[in-house]
Amino acid sequence: MEEKSKRNIAFNIFALILILILLTFSKRENQEKFIEIFNPDALVLDEENIINSIPLYEKADNIAYYNNYIFVWQNNSLIRYNEDGSKEGEKLFNFMDPHIVFGNNAIYLCDKNLGDIHYLNLEGNLINRLKIEGEINSLKEYSQYILVHVTEDNKEGIKLLDSNGKLLAKSYIDEGGILNYCLNNKNNIYAYSTLKLENESIRSDLKAISLEGEIIWTYSLEDEIIMYLAFVDEERLVAMSDKGLYFIENGDLSWEMDISPAKDIHVEGDNIYILYDKGYETIALDGTVKDDIFLSEDYDNMALTDDLIILYGDKSIMGIKNKSKVFKYKSDQPIIKVVAGSENLIVLYEDKIDIISFNK
């Protein structure tokens, strides 16, 4: 009896401790501490992890990382550096209103007012140059195609071009402005959202259009601003407004979710990744929240690699894999942008670029 009583007491103590742990870490504000306790091998990166630093004598506007080369867009120049900091090459462009897009397949340099687009390969060499009618507002790459948001004859529109510059489709709106746009994975339907002011209220309209110009479906939101669009396949689309997340299939709403104001969003594969003021979520395409992690520090942007989610803010960087924090870095000066390779972070500051290893 005495031995059984001792076992019961020990079990009750264990159960009580377990309940306290569950109650404590069920609170979102304690989840990051939970990650740290049960992931003791997480790296705290410091100066010893900085494997190289490239000084910048002028502020850079943008950076990218391709095939172990660092590209810097700076004062109308595209500069290529090795990881050891040596300059490999530089190309100067005499653009009046420059705009650069670092894509997955090419680099796109635009002179927005003139409608000029220069295609460069990932080594930085010019492979094509084309001119489109109208002024370029923005550009997005989709595999071997690009969607260009233009203003022509005081009207905003979308143009779809292939890598040779052939115009495949175009569409214009009569009033309002284009907020966002995207192309499906079959490259045969594009969508865009517009904003209209009506009787002291606002309305966002979403249209899906075929390459022949046929409006396939429309969807509208009252008193909301659609800030992000992305097709997940041929027919299904994710739309995020300033108030909610919407999953639309062939013009019909499959599900919706109220969300806090988002700082960044990415749709990759079967997941939707959203960064909030003090939290980060992974949402499945059926609307199920897979991960909901509280963040004790402010992060403003996300960068995705094959197996990592990298969050970064003014002076902090965090790498997350499968709900676990795998590394964290604190900077002593403001961070402008972070791009990542398989083993290194490329961190842009106002006066330098640091190459930081996060591989053990």
Q: What is the pLDDT of residues 136-180, one digit of tens each?
A: 999 999 999 999 999 999 999 999 999 889 999 999 998 889 999
DSSP 3-state helix, strand, coil percentages of the chain (rounded to 5)?
10, 55, 35
Residue 354 lies in a domain: yes
pLDDT of residue 6: 47
Residue-level pLDDT at 46:
84
Residue 341 lies in a domain: yes
Q: What is the pLDDT of residue 8?
A: 52
Res 244: pLDDT: 96
Please check whether residue 282 lies inside any domain of the structure.
no
pLDDT tier for residue 3 given thresholds of 50, 70 and 90: low
Whether residue 335 lies inside any domain: the answer is yes
Local structure of residue 342 (DSSP, 8 states): S
Percent above pLDDT 70 for the chain: 88
Confidence band of 360 (pLDDT split at 50, 70, 90): low
> 21 vs 249, which has greater pLDDT?
249
In a domain, 348, yes or no: yes
CA distances from 95 to 73, 109, 110, 146, 165 (A): 13, 9, 8, 20, 20
Query: Which residues, 6 or more positions from 12, have their beta carbon under 8 angstroms from its beta carbon?
Result: none
37 confidence band (pLDDT: 50, 70, 90): very low
Lowest mean pLDDT among 20-34, 80-94, 188-202: 20-34
| Maximum C-alpha span of the chain | 93
Instruction: Give the helix/strand (H/E) hosting 196.
Output: strand 189-198
For the stretch 69-105, pLDDT in tens is 999 999 999 999 998 889 999 999 999 999 999 999 9
pLDDT value, residue 321: 87
Residue 111 belongs to some domain of the structure: no
Domain that holds residue 62: 40-83+299-360
Whole-model pTM: value is 0.85
On whether residue 224 sits in a domain, the answer given is no
250 located within any domain: no
Q: How many domains does the chain have?
A: 1
∠ CA(143), CA(147), CA(151), 5° rounding?
A: 165
pLDDT of res. 4? 47
Q: What is the mean pLDDT of the chain?
A: 88
- Over 70: is that where the pLDDT of 19 sits? no
- 305's CB contacts (< 8 A; 6+ apart) are 340, 341, 342
